[in-house]
Structure 1
Amino acid sequence: MAGSLRIEGKGSGRHVLPGDDRSVLQAFREGDRATLTRVYRTYSPQVARYLARRFSVRSGSSVHSVSLGALDLDAAHQETFVRAFRPAMRQAYDGIRPYLGFLLTLARSTAVDLLRASGRIAREAVPLDDAPELAHAPTEEHGPEEQALRAEVRTLVRQFLDGLPEEARALAQLRFMEGLSQEAAAARLQLTRGEVRVRERHLRTQFTEHLLARGWLDVPLGGMEKLP
């Protein structure tokens, strides 16, 4: 079905967005706001679930798994769509392959970039998890733009942590930088798990606001008021 913009619906079938196939694909490639909003709302939960998984990476002779911290998870989710909706990437999508595989490949690349930027994995580490459609997805060279992204992420995270009160900074360090579980962080800070959960939710909201205020995100986590 050439020229169609596929979305994964419930059940085993594949569905296309409402309207004539070619016109929808054309609107997507032209950056039509309504079409991009529909794509975002359709795939946002699936991209978020994919990014929340653990990724296997190889560094030298060792293989280990790593996951994004809560702060990086929100940033990776938004950056995936920022990259996907760039003009070159919209044009690169052929309208034949399921778009979810296309998006998840970008999500994996974004996750690896953020893990490297935060120092969670070595720069030379190789991801072993193949996202769907990996062999057919367009590639972005890691040139000056990607290097600038990594440096900016490090700066943004450090600025955010430095601006927190001592107790909040300690929680962020344990949960998001060191990767402790909520139970372990609660024990270290002499809090209940419920208190940690509430404070963590507040930290995530604060971090999103931090990114928005500095113009790093173009869209709040809950909606599509502004699109790249």
Structure 2
Amino acid sequence: MLRDPQMLLSYRNGEESAFLALYEKYACSLHRFLQSGFNFSSQGKMCRFRGADNGLDAESLVQETFARAFAKTTREHYDGVRPFQTYLFSIAKNLVLRESLQRNRMISTEWMDEAENGESLFTGALDSDIGISPEKHVENEQLKNIMQAFINRLDAEEKAFFSIRFVQGLTQESTADRMGTTRARIKLLEKNMRKRFLETLRKNGYLTSYSPNPRWKRVEKLPYELETQRAACW
């Protein structure tokens, strides 16, 4: 909660002083929350977002979260009783999930169930077949076939990368260490694989209108004191 009545009033009024104070207090913890990931429920099934390193920019997410936290309706909905950090984290979580839906299935591979072997690497990228329509079941089967065919075409290095990075859920840095290569190489592998996978889906009639750019962009310049605060966090 915001214990200081004046701070609560300043926040509800959308004053810059409140923005600066709250950013300074919560930006680091929010950044850590987004980097470490979180659990969420989808269609009665527990899933996990593995962290902002997986295709999303943590800095942009932090900035966008604060921008949304200071939107008029968001300020009005805050009751001043629940912890502000919890309120902020819920905004960030909704932002990540909405962005993920906008990207459709492209980043859902980062949320898949832990695979016990490498035979069905994209299992979690698809909706569960339980309780879905026959049409959706057919679509899921088509996607499974497309995904498995894509995996089968990967070379040895790419298959190792995919298994470590996405199935095991390691960070780019840990994947590089495991594969005995550089993070720059891992970033290139990931970029190329995402591009080729998107092209494969489009060739098969999926995501034809999808754009990989997020609907929001990183703020070009923060006030000096916030730049200093950000530098201390990440």
Using the size of structure 2 for normalisation, the TM-score is: 0.47
With the length of structure 1 as denominator, give the TM-score of the two structures: 0.48
Structure number with larger C-alpha Rg? 2
Q: Is the helix fraction higher in 1 or 2?
A: 2
